[in-house]
Amino acid sequence: MGAQMASRLVGTGQNVMVYNRSVAKAEPLRQLGAAVASTPAEVTSTCDLVFAMLADPKAAKAVAMDGPDSAVAGIAARPASAQPVTYVDCSTVDAATGEQVGNAITAAAPRTGFLAAPVSGGWRDARDGTLLFLCGGHQTAYEAAVPGLDAMGSRRWLLGSTPGDAARAKLMLQVMMGNIVGSLAEMMALSKAAGLDEAAILEVLGESAMANPLCKAKGELMRKNDYKPNFQVYLQQKDLRLALQLADDLGVPAPISAASNGQYIRARQMGFADKDFAAVRAAYEAEALNEPETEDA
């Protein structure tokens, strides 16, 4: 995701500097014309507008806040005469992590701005510049981020004045996405067990009131057992875990999400963690439980 987003920024003709925790993954961006930094601090000490895209709360906090090479350290090292930094975190994290990172970033130097802007979409949407950004933060930070957001996405919303507003909004989408695909996997497994033509069932579904692009795309992947990753099982399960924690904090029952989460955990245990989250279907297949090494067949 981050590499595809950065390539869109390089395409705008701006000077772009990138950092990745796995250094080799930044090399294609160097070939496109980006400078490659050795630490997050090098990016934030140099760039006025910074976008972060990390896999989970632990990574988001580590890059932003941990030690002398962190994004916070780079912001603090900028001379007083430098332009203020706007730090935009596009990671999907819980509200508490968003607030923690935001507070650390804005405390690093005067006039520093922070915007939480988690995305809806996969790496192909990032490649095509059609991501959706769900933003939370001050209006000034949002306005500073607009050029980059518009280069990487097709729509954006400022949904509240705090990072927590954006984090909670993104989790609502992940609840729906995880549950829909989990339900689709259950239907596909039941269709197979009933001896039905799975392709025909998907065709009927596509003409019904339940038709939607997600079911069409993921249903075909399930039918073909083609799980090359667009959005991985472990990421979808992480998002459901965060949503369930939010539901628990708010005292809202979430039994459907809890059941779906259990199936994504099962798929992870079977060796499908890094496969597309359509691979949750494997959690319903007895033969897959016995032969996880055939997951690429």
Query: Has 58 been annotated as catalytic?
Result: no
How far lies 112's CA from each of 42, 137, 152, 208, in Å?
16, 12, 22, 50
Residues 6+ apart with CB under 8 A from 141: 86, 88, 113, 114, 115
The Cα angle at residue 52 between residues 231 and 101, in degrees rounded to 5: 110
Helix (H, G, I), strand (E, B) or coil at 115: strand
Cβ-count burial 281-290 (b if 16+ within 10 Å, e if not): bbbbbeebee
Options 61, 170, 238, 275, the catalytic residue: 170
Q: Which residues contact 265 (CB under 8 A, 6 or more apart)?
A: 237
Residues involved in catalysis = 170
